[in-house]
Each structure stands twice: as structure tokens, then as C-alpha cells.
Structure 1
């Protein structure tokens, strides 16, 4: 009898594993892990120099020697995509941290303190939400200067309002919970309750949003680089590679390769965000 139950138990465990980690989620994690590995140690994935090439090998199609082909200067496009990952990923991370810290703090204070603090911060958030994110990013990066770091700061500023709105709503909902009221009745201070009870519970819904904004930040920063608001050549940001490739339409891999990597990364991050939201 024991042996007859083992296959059934194995199938049940497999079914539960598939429900918890669908194949699309596992594939998304693999893609994101590969991108992060490119950002941390690009030299392990290619031996080509992204900044120099062989003029005789210019505009070669994808092959075993050059997986993504070569550009107009004979540089290996795969190497340029791999080495450009660090800038794209780091910039997106900076943008998410700025939006999470500043927006999360604004929403936390507005939702917990209420009163005039909530009114002032809510009106500020409304003003930021009234401006399209990409337009706000363009305005900020124009004021700060054209480079990838400033593009990351601009993208983070454009995300502040979203984090503030979500955090505020979660704090208000958590503040009304029974365990928070019980802590007040037991004599807990406002800051103890804020840090011990409200913040940990309210931040659960912010994690999927942070992951989602990470993918969106990659897209926004790539768009800014495409328009020339990022680092100038010979940088190899994904958006800059697409911008350079658009001038050579007879050699479409110059656009397809960095665009495919960007799209695959953003879609994978979005899929992970949806999975986190469901499991949360």
C-alpha cells in the first residue's frame, strides 16, 4: 500500500510545485538571472572588446563568431549588449530606490499621521500624477544634464507619486486593523506602532510594485537614451544601441538584438511582479 501511494504523492507534489512556480515564472527568473549576471560579470560571457572593433568585420550578420552580428565599426554587438547591461540595470535600480524611499516615506507619513500632513502630501502627489511620467523624466533630466545617472534620477522622481499613493492606501488600511488598535490601547507609542506594525504590513504590497517599476524604469531609461538624454557613444546602453541601429535599416540586427534583450527583460520582470502579487 505504501508503494502505491508514492507515485500519487509525487504527482501531488509536482502539481503543487507547478502551481507555485509556473513555467513562465521560472523562465522569467532565468532571464532576469542571466541579465543580472551580465551586469555583474560581463567578461565571463564574452571575450570581445565592446569599445573597439575590426573595420574589416563591419556590419556582419549574426554568426557563431558574432552572435548578434557586428556594427558599423566592426564591434561585436553581443559584447556591447552584455557590457551595456550594467548601466541599464544599475540605472533602473537607482530609479526604483529613489521612488521607493521618497515615495514610500511620503505615503507612510501621509497615511499614518493624517491631518494637514496628509492634505499637503496628497496634493503634492496629485500634482506629480497629473504630469505624464515620461514627460516628467524628460523635464528633470533636461534640468540636471544629459547622462545615464541623471536619467536614473529623473526616472526615480517620476515614480515617487506612484509609490506614495500605494503606500498611503496600504497604511490607512493597516492603521484600521484590530491589532494596531490593540497596540494603541496597550500604550504603544505612535512611532513604535508605525515601525513595528504598520510599516512591515503595509510594505507587502509595495514589493510587487517595486519589481514592476524596475522593469518600467529599464524601459524609460532606454527611451531616454534613445532620444539622446543618456551617456554619449561609445557607451553601450540598450536604448543608445537601438538609436544607433535605426540609422542602418539594411542591417536590422543592429536594432533587433538590443530591442529583443530589452523587451525580454521587461516582460520577465513584469511576469515576476504579477506572480509576487498573487502569492502575496
Structure 2
């Protein structure tokens, strides 16, 4: 079982090595990187490349680790007992299996994605240490122990919004997805927009990287955003000449695809104003 780039996803050599190392070590792969660099998509492509089903657990700020194991609905059981429902005699009827339970009981090996782990409370990763390490957990209501039939390939993503505990990091194989360089970005664009004209692509990507490197930018545009931008440029049938900027038009064409807050829009407007004033 080896992961490589797929027809829908360009994986750099170091990323492919990290995925395969985590699979070989049977350790969770912790993937960090800027939003929009393909961390979530990586898990989907690993599953596709290895021919495995995928189970996805999307983490929110209110998510608790216990929800990944199971949840016991005591309220429903109490209500059913008051109504004389026969289901009340079997506590298993009131246990909802979480994503880890589903992955553990799967008849075949699966890819388990724990997406954006840094959104949850700081204790969330620590609360999953033993379960991810031993690949088992105890269900107190029924007295049973759930053990993984096949150890899943676990991929955990983080946008680096908060530090993760050292004990959690020790149990993971870590990889940081660097922002693609120009050559890699060309490969990515070719996957999503095959056959795009070379001159248009060169002009657009040059402008895109100039925007990313602009001092004072609050949110740098990501890979997903440049792909959206190029899609719009193609839909509008724009030429390389249409993308040229001067002092009066510092904002890129169709900038709403690239700049996602008013501070960054105002930054480019100020740059245009300063350029016009210096030109007088």
C-alpha cells in the first residue's frame, strides 16, 4: 500500500513520503498547513489511491472527544421507560456509535479523517490519546471493549490555530504542507484547468504570488482561491493584457476571489492612491 499523486491531486515527494511513513509506522499522520492547501482533500485522495473507504469526522469548537467514541442517550431511555417501551431493557438501543467506533468495527481497513482538530478545546487531543494509541476503548454502559478489527489509516488535519499537546504530538507522524512553489502550482492548475494558455497562466500566477508577498496583507490567498480565480478568468475569456495593473488599478481583476476581507481590499486601494499621487 503506497500513496502517490493521483489524477486529481498533486502530491509533492515529501508529502507522499510522509503519508507512506505514517502508514508503515501505523501512526496517525498529523498534517498542518495554511487553509486551502489541500489537507482535507489529501485524506480523500489517500483513500482513493489505496482503494480504501473513508470515514470523516469534522471537528467543531463544541466537539468533544467522547462523541468520536459513542454517545449515550439517557433522556430518550428515560422517556421510553415512562412510556413502557420494551426497547428500554437493552441499553445498546440508546448508544450512538461515533466515527472512531465506526472505523474500529469496519470489516476492512479504512481511512479515518479527523479534520481541523485545532478547532476543538485544548483537551480534545489528549482525550483521544489512549484510543488512538491502543486502538480500543471501553463502553461503560454495556461493559464491552471495542477493539479495531483493522487498524485504520488516521489522518489528522490542523490549521495551526492553536498549539497541540506534546503527548499528542509524540504519537503522530508530522508533516507541514508548504505553500506550493510556482512549478508545483502549475502542475496543480493543470489538474484542475487542463490546457490553459501558457501566457495567461504565467501572467496570472506571477500576479498571484506578488499579491501573496504584499507586505501588510492580513489573509494571503490560498491554492483553492487561485484555482477559483483562474476559473473566473477563463469564464470571462480574459487575456494576459486584461490582467495588467497600473497605479490606477492596483486591485487585481475579479479580486473577490482572492481577497477575502475589507482590510486587504483597502490595502490595495491605498497602494493605488499612493501610486497616483507619486505619479503627479
Q: TM-score, normalised by structure 2?
A: 0.22
Q: TM-score, normalised by structure 1?
A: 0.22
Greater per-residue helix proportion: 1
